Amino acid sequence: MNPNAFRKLSYGVYVISSWDEGRPTGCTANSVMQITSEPATVAVSINHDNYTNGCISRSGRFAVSVLSETSDPSIIGTFGFQSGKTVNKFDSVEYEQKANLPVVKDSCAWIVCEVIDRMETATHTVFLGKVVDADEQGAGEPMTYAYYHKVIRGKSPKNAPTYLPEEEKAQEARWVCSVCGYVYDGETPFEQLPDSFVCPVCRQPKSAFVKK
Amino acid sequence: MNPNAFRKLSYGVYVISSWDEGRPTGCTANSVMQITSEPATVAVSINHDNYTNGCISRSGRFAVSVLSETSDPSIIGTFGFQSGKTVNKFDSVEYEQKANLPVVKDSCAWIVCEVIDRMETATHTVFLGKVVDADEQGAGEPMTYAYYHKVIRGKSPKNAPTYLPEEEKAQEARWVCSVCGYVYDGETPFEQLPDSFVCPVCRQPKSAFVKK
């Protein structure tokens, strides 16, 4: 079995949010798909270890915020590289309540669901949600997971003159965030960055970067 | 509820195949996602009305062929706009057996699964498959559903000089395949095409096109 085959499946990038006893919380996820149109239902897959899993189970509701290519990439880090058990993730990310659930404001669409079924696997729960309400908002193309990997996590913007195929880039030493994998690619040499520099994806300090 | 929000979810384009009493069959699908990595499992959503649904249920196995941007678009039509009940779809699409299942040769990856669980909804079955074997093959970027809609179904290739944003194109009268929605966009005026012209996506005859 060649696990690279799984990388050929296409996904978006989403924040799945819910309530934790009145406190908004959530996590990033790729695994979201519409299942039926009448009634509209959506399936999301959430790891058992993810704090959001229990919050969805207890509240019986979740929201999907669809991130766009123009969404602030730090949202991915805020919701993806720390636990909602110890951090109030929505403290640093603006949200609005839609159909009584918190949704990320800097997204291109949101879908609010009520859990109507679930399927358990070894590590993840697949929640089936009946859509309560949904709308588009803002502009921008939906961010795909491929876009996140190629453009945000480690390379120049694809339209930038400094963009090089991955193979050529691999020859150079690169400063990589040890937490989220973001590869620094700015004009200023990494060593000359101020100590206040933080990872634009997960907000870890400069000291979390390692040379690879 | 604004159903346009659902269009912001990102998908790939796949052929889901199985055996029908020893005959290979399948259908196109967008809804495929990996659920767990250890053991590797993949979920696919298939409409109850789709002949492939029953074939998967009876054989207990399915394969996912991941179409790429370079895959022949007629594969989408062959598997998407006719029923495997009456047509031997694999008669016109080359396939290979992988882990004893038929997979589309003109694809960039394949995943063969054994059904280990299922979730029923009003119109679709979500099959959970444990991966038996998987591999990459060929070249090309995986085709996204957005790519299919933007590039194949109705517009010039995105790199072609004739490419125009959808808004501008909408001003012109267009010949559209009434079966699959493909919009003719060739150099030759549609009226001057030979009677032998068929839709490149679903192979319907010229007479199936309507002016919109």
Residues in chain A with CB shorter than 8 Å from the CB of B141 are: 146
Query: Around B57, how many Cα atoms within 13 Å sit in the side-chain half-sphere?
Result: 16
Tell me the per-residue pLDDT of B113-128, one tens digit each, with 9 for 90 and over. Answer: 999 999 999 999 999 9
Predicted confidence band at B172 (pLDDT cuts at 50, 70, 90)? Answer: low
Query: Chain-wide mean pLDDT for chain A?
Result: 87
For testing the chain A interface, which of B6, B132, B143, B145 should be mutated: the one with the most A CBs within 10 Å? B6
CB contact under 8 A, A34 and B32: no
Record the pTM.
0.79
- What are the percentages of helix, strand and coil residues in chain A, rounded to 5? 20, 40, 40
Tell me the per-residue pLDDT of B40-58, one tens digit each, with 9 for 90 and over. Answer: 999 999 999 999 999 999 9
Q: Is the peptide bond before A39 cis (omega within 30 degrees of 0)?
A: yes
Fold that domain A11-150 belongs to in CATH: Pnp Oxidase; Chain A (2.30.110)
Query: What's CA B14's distance to the chain center, in Å?
Result: 5
User: Which of A33, A37, A128 is facing B33, going by the closest CB pair?
Assistant: A33
Name the residue of chain A whose CA is nearest to B111's CA.
A5
Instruction: State the nearest Cα–Cα gap between A147 and chain B, in angstroms.
Output: 11
Residues in chain A with CB shorter than 8 Å from the CB of B128 are: 119, 121, 126
Structure tokens belonging to residue B185? 């966009």
Q: Where are the alpha helices (DSSP H) in chain B?
A: 51-59, 74-80, 145-147, 166-169
Give CA–CA dist A96/B162, Å, rounded: 41
Tell me, what's the pLDDT at B200?
83
User: Cβ(B114)–Cβ(B99) under 8 Å?
Assistant: no
Residues 6+ apart with CB under 8 A from B157: B151, B163
* Domain range list for chain A: 11-150, 172-212
Predicted confidence band at B102 (pLDDT cuts at 50, 70, 90)? Answer: very high
Name the residue of chain A whose CA is nearest to B68's CA.
A8
The answer to whether B11-150 and B172-212 have equal CATH topology is no
Tell me the per-residue pLDDT of B179-194, one tens digit each, with 9 for 90 and over. Answer: 888 888 888 888 889 9
Name the residue of chain B whose CA is nearest to A131's CA.
B1
Predicted confidence band at A32 (pLDDT cuts at 50, 70, 90)? Answer: very high
Residues in chain A with CB shorter than 8 Å from the CB of B144 are: 10, 144, 146
Tell me the per-residue pLDDT of B4-27, one tens digit each, with 9 for 90 and over. Answer: 999 999 999 999 999 999 999 999
Amino acid at A57: S
Query: Taking Cα atoms as reference points, which of A145, A125, A148, A134 lies closest to residue A43?
Result: A125
Measured over the CA atoms of residue A95, residue A96, residue A97 and residue A101, the dihedral's sign is: negative
Beta strands, E only, A142-186:
175-177
Residue of A44 and A201 predicted with greater confidence: A44
Residues 6+ apart with CB under 8 A from B166: B150, B155
User: Which of B37, B131, B142 is facing A10, going by the closest CB pair?
Assistant: B142
Predicted confidence band at B162 (pLDDT cuts at 50, 70, 90)? Answer: very low
Query: Chain-wide mean pLDDT for chain B?
Result: 87
User: Which of B2, B11, B39 is facing A135, going by the closest CB pair?
Assistant: B2
CB contact under 8 A, A119 and B122: no
**Multiple choice CATH, A172-212, 2.40.30.10, 2.20.28.10, 3.40.50.970, 3.30.70.360:** 2.20.28.10
Structure tokens belonging to residue B187? 């150099």
Give CA–CA dist A154/A152, Å, rounded: 6
Tell me, what's the pLDDT at B187?
82
**ipTM, 2 dp:** 0.80
CB contact under 8 A, A109 and B134: no
Instruction: State the nearest Cα–Cα gap between B128 and chain A, in angstroms.
Output: 9
Inform me whether the pLDDT recorded for B167 exceeds 50.
Answer: no
User: Which of A8, A43, A136 is facing B4, going by the closest CB pair?
Assistant: A136
Tell me the per-residue pLDDT of A131-176, one tens digit each, with 9 for 90 and over. Answer: 999 999 987 899 999 888 887 774 433 333 333 444 444 556 788 8
Tell me the per-residue pLDDT of A73-120, one tens digit each, with 9 for 90 and over. Answer: 889 988 988 788 888 999 999 999 999 999 999 999 999 999 999 999
Predicted confidence band at B171 (pLDDT cuts at 50, 70, 90)? Answer: low
CB contact under 8 A, A35 and B124: yes
Tell me, what's the pLDDT at B5?
94
Inform me whether the pLDDT recorded for A43 exceeds 60.
Answer: yes
CB contact under 8 A, B8 and A136: yes
